[in-house]
Amino acid sequence: MRDWTAEDMPDQSGRTIVITGANSGLGLHSAYALAAKGAHLLLACRSPERGARAVDQVRTTAPRAKVELVRLDLSDLASVRAAAADIRERAGDRLHVLMNNAGVFGPPLGRTADGFEIQMGTNHLGHAALTWLLMPALRQAPGARVVTLSSLAHRRTTLRLDDLNYERRRYNAFVAYSESKLANLMFAQELDRRLSAADADVLSLAAHPGLTDTELAANGGRARRNKLLEVGVGLFNKVATMRTERGVLSQLYAATAPTVRGGQYYGPAGPGEVWGGPGLAGCSPESQDTAVAAELYEVSGKLTGIAPDPA
């Protein structure tokens, strides 16, 4: 498995795949790889301008690919609802893969349009809402999958379900990011347990990229107006991280490999899960608390006002 590359992906012709945050980094490189294998891609992006550039870039590398842009702002539930309706129409209500890839990292305390802490609201709650709204279309495609991106950072924290949105406690941007990534992993595995219990032909998996050269951390520095952090992250990425086309393999494996099972978590198979080809990743003890995961699932439904599917 650790020698697996994007060339080993099976043909994706006839499959419709949604990638959130597809205008750069892991999302864009996922799009390159999947377009080369013939997938019909829906690139769900917040910025119409950057999204349009991403569509053009993917079409340049795979001229015969069907690539479309969907406007999606995960920090605004009205946008999530509109995007889900748009996706279902474009996909003919038949969706094979939803890749919950988008994320924000390390900004100062901020709120989404619906009042959620910006990292939990974007990274977890927005994706949970989108997943539930697209579940009817996922059920219509045999062997459909939901792949949600977590992080090594999930191991650094626990969840405070009584204060997910930092309304009563002191804010720490990096702890908040870790919490959102822990929520991503717990949501992915709880979703799979519920899909299995409902006998649905849909798998839910999680993946992480190890240390990969993306814009995520640098964007966090820009959001904090911290030039030193932005430059430092850039230098670190140049010397200590994998190229993005390598870091993306874990999520591509989860999305396409025929041997995966629901609930599995993939990451780089090298030492410390920092570099290397895809393999099964380690989960923190906190992430395996099924009672907390079930409560997170229900709390997320109440916060978003969207009925969890499956319930």
- Catalytic (active-site) positions: 177
CA separation, residue 194 to residues 187, 262, 266, 284, 297 (Å)? 10, 11, 20, 21, 10
Contacts 24+ apart (CB under 8 A), 135-138: 135/202, 135/309, 135/310, 136/88, 136/93, 136/309, 137/87, 137/88, 137/91, 137/93, 137/94, 137/95, 138/95, 138/96, 138/98, 138/202
Measured CA to CA in angstroms, residue 195 lies from 48, 190, 264, 288, 291 at distances of 33, 9, 14, 17, 17
